Amino acid sequence: MPTDTERASFEAGIKFGSLYHQFAGTPVSPDSAESLGRAMEEAIENQPHCVDVDVTVRTDRIAAELDSQSAEYTELTGRFLDVEMRIEYEGVTARTKMEMEGDYPLMRLVAVEE
Amino acid sequence: MPTDTERASFEAGIKFGSLYHQFAGTPVSPDSAESLGRAMEEAIENQPHCVDVDVTVRTDRIAAELDSQSAEYTELTGRFLDVEMRIEYEGVTARTKMEMEGDYPLMRLVAVEE
Amino acid sequence: MPTDTERASFEAGIKFGSLYHQFAGTPVSPDSAESLGRAMEEAIENQPHCVDVDVTVRTDRIAAELDSQSAEYTELTGRFLDVEMRIEYEGVTARTKMEMEGDYPLMRLVAVEE
Amino acid sequence: MPTDTERASFEAGIKFGSLYHQFAGTPVSPDSAESLGRAMEEAIENQPHCVDVDVTVRTDRIAAELDSQSAEYTELTGRFLDVEMRIEYEGVTARTKMEMEGDYPLMRLVAVEE
């Protein structure tokens, strides 16, 4: 049987995959970044064992992308997101983070503490 | 060649399909309904020719759903949404609405005016 | 009241927005492109008035993208898609197409015929 | 630092959340269930450390749903899915499963083995 730290880690992964694939592809601009980030936080915090979600939609990177293209908005993808989450499962706290590793938005399990 | 009123109607349809299928399935509760509705509005207003999007996430219907199930949140779907949109394309205004028709959330083209 | 050609155009737009925003962000590689394209076609053909959907997921463009990055898959987005659809509504046929216009994946209403 | 079994569990969770939230809301009928299940499997198998994904879209449950409603298709949601996955991370195998627990589609970490 999996341990509580493994289950907490699994729950943390679910939240990350959910957040990313629910919202990837959303039309986004610097002006709409704030409301999108807030909705992502509150939506995922509904999920079981999810205590805190902190999303920053990177308006600086969106603005840079818009400079190089014709449309006035783009689609949400990993490089426009900084995310941190805290999951609590049966007394175990799992902390996770998404950050760019080179050109890849890596979802990382930062710490699992009983 | 399609006319401007037909193109305006096509653009209006794109926005509706986008809004629905980007956000359907999002975890939602009465407490997170407001931020989700706001993000939906601002996201879709980014799209070309989309002048105004008004989304009401129906907390009354979500609350009723939660009364009949074990989880404390549900997934966004058509019966939890009232939506109105205004699209402007080459001087044509298209107005659209989503509302329940029996058990089906019908997307309707309400008016197309030059 | 909108005309049948306008309503057919609206229905065509709904299908395009649905197809795009349901599937944008899906992990895709040259090997999985075929099954994804087939699922997109059959999913959207379920929608009312949607007679035919033809999706080509561009493995050539996906392969080129993979050459320039570290991961072995990417996310589905507009430049990897060629799409054509035929909608029939009350005797009106609407034909649509998605194709790149410069750097933007433009959804176009090609013809509306009674 | 998290252990390899915790990291494997986290990776397994990511895949589950991704699969669910990428595809929830997709229009589905008994006829299109097969292609959708196949696309889900192949899409998620692209993700890192994901060795095997097995999806059964439950045509029996979809057919029962269609009997009770007016439309000829419905939206993909948890009760229409049986899913099993195998993740391998640094010599650790994580097995996961989604199944209904009462009215809730529970994602479960079944086993984590070094």
Q: Which residues of chain C have pLDDT under 50?
A: none
Lowest mean pLDDT among A32-36, B38-42, C68-72: C68-72
Give the whole-angstrom CA distance, residue B45 versus residue B100: 23
Q: Is the pLDDT of residue B30 over 90?
A: yes
Give the whole-angstrom CA distance, residue B59 versus residue B61: 5
Interface contacts (B, C; CB < 8 Å):
92
Does any CB of chain A come closer than 8 Å to the CB of residue B62? no
**What is the value of ipTM here, to two decimals?**
0.96
CA dihedral (B71, B72, B75, B77) positive or negative: positive
Q: How do D81-89 and D50-57 pair as beta strands? A: antiparallel
Decide: helix, strand or coil at residue A88: strand
pLDDT given for residue D11 in this prediction: 98
Distance from CA of D54 to the nearest CA of C (A): 14
Give the whole-angstrom CA distance, residue D31 versus residue B109: 29
Give the pLDDT band of residue A56 (cuts 50, 70, 90).
Answer: very high
Q: What does the DSSP 8-state code read for residue D36?
A: H
Stretch B66-84: mean pLDDT? 95
The residues spanned by each domain of chain C are: 4-113
Does any CB of chain A come closer than 8 Å to the CB of residue D20? yes
Helix C4-23 × helix C33-45 angle, to 10°: 140
Residue whose C-alpha is closest to residue D24's, from D55, D63, D70: D55
Instruction: Output the known binding site of A.
Output: 11, 107
pLDDT given for residue B102 in this prediction: 87
pLDDT given for residue B20 in this prediction: 97
Residue from A75, A79, A101, A106 to probe the interface with C (highest C Cβ count within 10 Å): A75
Does any CB of chain D come closer than 8 Å to the CB of residue C69? no
pLDDT given for residue A102 in this prediction: 87
CA distances, D101 to each of B91, C72, C94, D108 (Å):
54, 35, 45, 10
pLDDT given for residue D102 in this prediction: 87
**What are the chain D neighbours of B75 within 8 Å (beta carbons)?**
24-25, 77
Q: Which CATH superfamily includes the segment(s) C4-113? A: 7,8-dihydroneopterin aldolase (MptD) (3.30.1300.20)
The chain-wide mean pLDDT, for chain B, equals: 96
Closest CB from C70, C71, C75 relative to A24: C75
Stretch D26-33: mean pLDDT? 98
Share of chain C above pLDDT 70, in %: 100
Give the whole-angstrom CA distance, residue B107 versus residue B104: 9
Does any CB of chain C come closer than 8 Å to the CB of residue B83? no
CB contact (8 A) between residue C10 and residue B111: no
pLDDT given for residue D86 in this prediction: 98
